[in-house]
Chains A and B, each alone.
Chain A
Amino acid sequence: MSAIAPERAGVTTQAIEGSQPVRLAPNYWPFVVPALVVVGAVIVFPWAFTLWMSVNSWTLGQSRSFAGMENYLRLASDPRFWESLWHTLTYTFLSVVAPMFFGTVAALIFDARFPLRGLLRGLFVMPMMATPVAVALVWTMMFHPQLGVLNYLLSLVGIPAQEWIFNANTVIPSLVAVETWQWTPLVMLIVLGGLASVPREPFESAEIDGANAWQQFRYLTLPMIAPFLMIAMIIRTIDALKSFDIIYAMTQGGPGTASETINIYLYNTAFSYYDMGYGSAMVVVFFIVIVALSFILLMLRQRTQWVDTEGK
């Protein structure tokens, strides 16, 4: 949990001791119980059910039978699954790196004061609020090889027309462009929150000592916002791994299976072929991939914090 709110840990530890005289502490559990029941029903039950389904063989409309590890073994030798895993990792890597870069740059700009800053920031945030399917639809039109506006814009600067999402070689980068367009604002907001907590004084003394802008950024700003960059990176990684709407609405995994990520393959398995047992096994493996990657990033985050305190 502290994964997401570094400032929160500080708040809690302050208030724990001291202000508790001998008095019956108010009981707060009744407030939490309804939510726990709902979470249990919509989150824990499906998980238990998924685990159980994953060791069964069941295509809707046919009879169910216990299959043991069969579904998992089938996954291990399913080339389409390995291919989709590779697509997922490529897509995720690019969809983390690009928004992280643009989002950090944008945060540094929006942290400064300039005319119409509020309005521009509002416009900048719009893409992440827009309905992904609607966005995907308009991008599909813009990517159109003959009538799309993007190829026209490229022709203005002398770049030959591309096939974008209609070509197996360019489909993933094209989808990443859309993902970057939509989710850079989230990175910007998180980093902006980090920049707001950076104190002024060190910069003033650095200025007196003659540090230039790059040195100030590299040795002061960057270490101080590092925890926020890690948070942004963890969130972006989770979201990019899970990305569904944009890919499904624009290519449905195509052309062929060139942009089929695990999530799309999973969807097709469960809801096009109705192979619920196999689909469930895929969900379990997919979740393990997400948790593993998040865990690695969390470990990295612990290290960045540790380095921080060492430096001080």
Chain B
Amino acid sequence: MSSRLLNKLGLFFVALVLVSPAILFFLWMISLSLKFEIDNGAYPPILIPERFAWSNYAKVFEENNFLLYLWNSVLVTGTATLLALLIGVPAGYGIARLKAERSAIVIMIARMTPGLSYLIPLFLLFQWLGILGTLWPQIIIHLVVTVPIVVWVMIGYFETTPMELEEAANIDGASSWQVFRLVALPIAKPGIVVAFILSVIFSWNNFVFGVVLASRETRTLPVAVYNMLSYEQVSWGPLAAAALVVTLPVLVLTMFAQRQIVAGLTAGAVKGG
């Protein structure tokens, strides 16, 4: 009995070692964001400073238009995810019921295609259409990330939901659309939640599309934080604070929806971009 306990403790410590790079990284990130310049330049480095520099966070929002960029990120990710759910959930259903494995190959190819290969043609197209100054180019191109994720998760989900109810409804004279909306969709709610979360995360994190398509007014948060690094003389504190602000929504989402995310990723193993 006691050797089993010892065994479990041993496993716990090995797991702790494996997790430590993640824990230490995020601790250090928080530490950097809460230190004044003098503490960030100290040697040996200081983990917990005597005075916390909360002003770093205030600075991020005051000096860099961060509220606008936050709003841009919400709009781009939100619209791209909603559009993806609107077309991706029915598509996942259709593909699962048609057993159209081949149409799913399109999604695999979408995954293999480097993001930049969409950018050259679409950049030229958007320029020609004269919509480069708006958020639409980014919303449209984010569909490349969100649609495959949603379709992929939903195929996996609909394949595991039982057919009997749908067949019964079908015999009772319900149309395909009614069967989908009234029978299949309610059962698939947990799958839709997984698709939503993963789509939000990978769209939010996307950088390459924004760096090409965003202008000064249409930057999303990852682009804004990158620009802070390259074009402005900023000290480490505010920079780390900005990085934390960008990634915090995603990390919070991960913490709260850990179970769903793990389920979704193990089933489909998806990643956008």
Which residues of chain B are within 8 angstroms of A125 by Cβ–Cβ distance? 254, 258, 261-262
| A243 to B112 Cα, complex, angstroms | 11
A199 at the interface (CB under 8 A from B): no
Q: Complex Cα distance A5/B69, Å?
A: 38
Contact B122–A129 (Cβ < 8 Å)? no
Q: 1/0 contact trace for A70-100 toward B, CB 8 Å?
A: 0000000000000000000000000000000
User: Counting CB contacts under 8 A, is A109 at the interface?
Assistant: yes
On whether A189 and B229 interact (CB within 8 A), knowing A12-B101, A26-B179, the answer reads no
- B15 near A: Cβ within 8 Å? yes
Q: How many residues of B contact A (CB 8 A)?
A: 111
B254 touches A129 (CB 8 A): yes
Cβ-defined contact, A53 with B120, below 8 A: yes
Chain B hits for A8, CB < 8 A: 156, 159
Scan residues 238-268 of chain B and give those whose CB is less than 8 A from a CB of chain A.
Answer: 239-240, 242-244, 246-247, 250-251, 253-255, 258, 261-262, 265-268
Q: Please state if B114 and A142 are interface contacts (CB–CB under 8 Å).
A: no
Query: Interface residues of A: mostly helix, strand, loop or mixed?
Result: helix
Inside 8 A of B242's CB, which chain A residues have their CB? 134
Q: Which residues of A contact B (CB under 8 A)?
A: 1-5, 8, 11-12, 15-16, 19, 23, 26-32, 34-36, 38-39, 42-43, 45-47, 49-50, 53, 102, 105-106, 109-110, 112-118, 120-127, 129-135, 137-138, 140-142, 146-147, 149, 152, 181, 186, 189-190, 192-193, 196, 231-232, 235, 238-239, 241-242, 244-245, 248-249, 263, 266-267, 270-271, 276, 279-280, 283, 286-287, 290-291, 294
A-B contact count (CB 8 A): 298
B19 touches A124 (CB 8 A): yes
User: Which residue of the partner chain, among B43, B119, B243, B271, contacts A147 with CB atoms under 8 Å?
Assistant: B43
Question: B45 in the interface, Cβ–Cβ < 8 Å?
Answer: yes
B8 contacts A189, CB within 8 Å?
no
Is B269's CB under 8 angstroms from A4's CB? yes
12 A-B Cβ contacts within 8 A?
A32-B95, A45-B121, A46-B121, A120-B19, A123-B19, A127-B21, A129-B205, A133-B243, A134-B243, A190-B265, A287-B114, A291-B112
Per the 8 Å Cβ criterion, residues 8-52 of B in contact with A are 8-9, 11-12, 14-16, 18-19, 21-23, 25-26, 28-29, 32, 40-41, 43-45
- Contact flag A122-B121 (CB < 8 Å), given A115-B8, A267-B116: no
Separation of A47 and B116 alpha carbons in the complex (Å):
11
Measured CB to CB, the closest approach of chain A to B87, in angstroms, equals 4
Residue of A nearest to B269 (CB): A190
Least CB separation from B184: chain A residue: A31
Type the 1/0 row for B134-153, where 1 means its CB is closer than 8 Å to any CB of A: 00000011011001000100
Contact B159 A11 (CB under 8 A): yes
Q: Could you tell me which B residues sit within 8 Å of A by CB distance?
A: 8-9, 11-12, 14-16, 18-19, 21-23, 25-26, 28-29, 32, 40-41, 43-45, 87-88, 90-91, 93-95, 97-125, 140-141, 143-144, 147, 151, 156, 159-160, 163, 167, 170-171, 176-177, 179-180, 201, 204-205, 207-208, 211-212, 221-223, 225-226, 229, 236, 239-240, 242-244, 246-247, 250-251, 253-255, 258, 261-262, 265-269, 271, 273
Q: Are A266 and B250 in contact (CB under 8 A)?
A: no
A34 lies within 8 A of B25 (CB) = no
B202 CB to nearest A CB, Å = 9
Query: A residues within 8 A CB of B93?
Result: 28, 31
Known: A1-B107, A248-B208. 6 other contacts (CB 8 A): A12-B99, A36-B103, A50-B121, A115-B9, A190-B269, A270-B116
CB-based nearest A residue for B33: A138
Task: Give CA–CA (A11, B12) in the complex, Å.
Answer: 36
Known: A42-B122, A120-B15, A129-B251. A16 touches B99 (CB 8 A): yes
Q: What's the Cα separation between A263 and B258 when bound, in Å?
A: 32
Counting from the closest, the 5 A-B pairs by CB-CB distance are: A31-B94, A35-B91, A193-B266, A49-B121, A134-B243
Q: Which residues of B contact A31 (CB under 8 A)?
A: 90-91, 93-94, 97, 176, 180
- Picked from B16, B102, B240, the residue with its CB within 8 Å of the CB of A141 is B240
Q: How far is the CA of A36 from the CA of B92 in the complex (A)?
A: 11
Contact A26/B32 with A35-B87, A38-B143 known, Cβ cut-off 8 Å = no
Taking a contact as CB atoms under 8 Å apart, the answer to whether A152 and B44 are in contact is yes
In the bound complex, do residue A32 and residue B103 qualify as a contact, i.e. CB atoms below 8 Å apart? yes
Q: Are B15 and A114 in contact (CB under 8 A)?
A: yes
Q: Is the CB of A192 within 8 A of B266?
A: yes
Residue numbers in A under 8 Å from B87 (CB-CB): 34-35, 38
By the criterion CB–CB under 8 Å, are B91 and A32 in contact?
yes
* Pick from A120, A192, A245, A291: contact of B207, CB under 8 Å: A245
B222 x A133 contact (CB < 8 A) = yes
